[in-house]
Structure 1
């Protein structure tokens, strides 16, 4: 799930479906009760520790901790690779993202039916919103304040609760993807350097603050955005999915702009790698869909 959540166009929720843990994940997230924190007051005695343990098991917290550790490990590893790709070959990397997102939209549109005016309106609104936002965020620099990072974390976490829609895609749409992957890489590198004594922990304040803010936003998103999306799906499922999938189509404007900006001339030697990257990206999603075509989104 962590590897999928790191790549725009691929959903960690889909991986949860494939591995058979999706319903358990949603149940565990929506079962979290802040009131259980009061049980920590009695950890000094055996009966208090037992009550705390039983409550945590009841909420399936051990499952969430193990899953979270796996997700974090994969995110750290994969985001480093993607960040290096963006630095070395930005045009081809965004072409790969274009293929991933376009194929994802095609696959998901096959699951939808725009049979009512409400669904059509939701689709048009989603496309228009993403098209406008992606035009603003493409190539934008310096719009990375902590409130924006916090909101980005809350929004990106939808990939964990909605199969088919990628959290990393939303980071690309918001213009935060490259910045956050670079910040995470800098934080992890700095942390290792601090552990071996090459740097001080104070040098990690800037990158660490950004990482923590994003994580806090994601946690808040789990208990707010997750519930909101489940409510929308329960009451307006078709319209909600139409809106979300149309967001993906409208957001294709961003990788197109990035490919254009990082391509000096439209010569065959420059265009061929972009086409190949698009085909590979789209092929990854279509191959995944081929092996998950019996899943209901």
Structure 2
């Protein structure tokens, strides 16, 4: 892609953080009112919540999604299988979700968007996060991936197959390398607190994509909730800006639907891309009238977030 083509990329993206069964018909209406061009879902729709995924799959706005650890809750582990509320010999709710999403599911894959000369590349499906690979068996069974090195290769293979030089990465968990404090975007916030709980395979694939000369305006994910487990004095930092200018956004503001004075407020992270660069990121809460009731500016290009050492 030429620099002129990159500069022509202007769009408004909604990133939907961990849903955990909080999705209603009004969410789709709210997205229409927000006037977004593209919707990115970071996964954790619920505990294998097929009906939530069915509703999202019917959304008639360009979209891409990845599957989170909760989306294989009754399938990926022995203890989960024992708690499954359905007969796993007759049904496969994980596959039902994947079938519903179809090409919109970009885990270990990609989706090209010709309208904006960009490609969305997905990270590892069903990730739990961290340097040790939890839920490894399901990726081996469904994707034939047996190590984090193979996983990084699989993600970068999707990068190499992208139709466009501008790449947005979409993961359930974010990449390693964004900090090791509990309040960092992928920091470990349970005891013993501290440590980088990002995905090393996603981090490696992003590094390879940058080395290959790809333009990466945005990497977005969820999994690690903004409210911290060990303290209520501070919240997780939702934004990291890399030296290359890539914006890393953790969109998991949970619960994403709250009651406030008798009114339901639903949140979306809104990313504005101008001339191929992220110019603003905000967390908006949409009210019953589908207007923005609250807005928190998380990043503005003219006033970038200062990264502490």
TM-score of the pair, normalised by structure 1: 0.28
TM-score of the pair, normalised by structure 2: 0.27
Whose relative contact order is higher, 1 or 2, with alpha carbons under 8 Å and at least 6 apart? Answer: 1
Whichever of the two has the greater Rg, that structure is 1
Higher percent of residues as helix: 1
Higher percent of residues as strand: 2
